[in-house]
A = this chain, B = another copy of it.
Amino acid sequence: MIEQVKESFSKQGFMKTLGAQLISVKKGEAKIACHLNGTLTQQHGFFHAGVITSITDVACGYAALSTMPEGSDVLTVEFKTNFIRAAQTHHIIAKGHVIKTGKTLVFCEGIVTNDKQDIIFATMQATMICLNSNYRNET
């Protein structure tokens, strides 16, 4: 399943655009890191809320996928992000972990910190859905 996560991550064009790196994945948890540069900023030069949310969504999605049956695929049903403080930093790490895996849905939480992981920039609650290998558009 770890290999499947890495392969899926490599297919996400948008993760390349963000320069995002999958730094770890184990059953029920995934971490993604991102370095600041001028292509990722909001109007004050900090990490854009959209960047923060995007990598946290992906971290939650792969945390969820790592708990699903082999051959599954994952889609995001919904998420909510709280922006605790402006991300005035050069490096962020988003950790997603699974709260509960059901037959269909997986509940996840995400947290975004600096690289020392001692300052919280954002938190996420996310719901993921398990799709079988034959991709269905319908949820």
* B-chain residues with CB within 8 Å of residue A53 when the two chains form the complex: 50, 53-54, 57
* B-chain residues with CB within 8 Å of residue A123 when the two chains form the complex: 99, 107, 109, 125
In chain A, positions 24-73 with a C-beta closer than 8 Å to chain B are 38-44, 48-51, 53-55, 57-58, 73
User: Is A137 located at the chain interface by the 8 A CB criterion?
Assistant: yes
Complex alpha-carbon distance, A11 and B103, angstroms: 27
Q: Are B109 and A14 touching (Cβ within 8 A)? A: no
* B-chain residues with CB within 8 Å of residue A137 when the two chains form the complex: 85-86, 88
Q: Are A86 and B82 touching (Cβ within 8 A)? A: no
Output the least CB separation between A3 and chain B (Å): 14
* B-chain residues with CB within 8 Å of residue A84 when the two chains form the complex: 99-100, 107
Interfacial residues, chain A to chain B (CB-CB below 8 A): 8-9, 11-14, 16-18, 38-44, 48-51, 53-55, 57-58, 73, 75-86, 88, 99-100, 102-105, 107, 109, 120, 123, 125, 127, 129, 135, 137-139
Q: Give 11 pairs: A residue, B residue, CB < 8 Å, sorted on A.
A: A12-B41, A12-B42, A14-B42, A14-B48, A17-B40, A49-B76, A77-B77, A78-B80, A78-B127, A79-B80, A125-B125
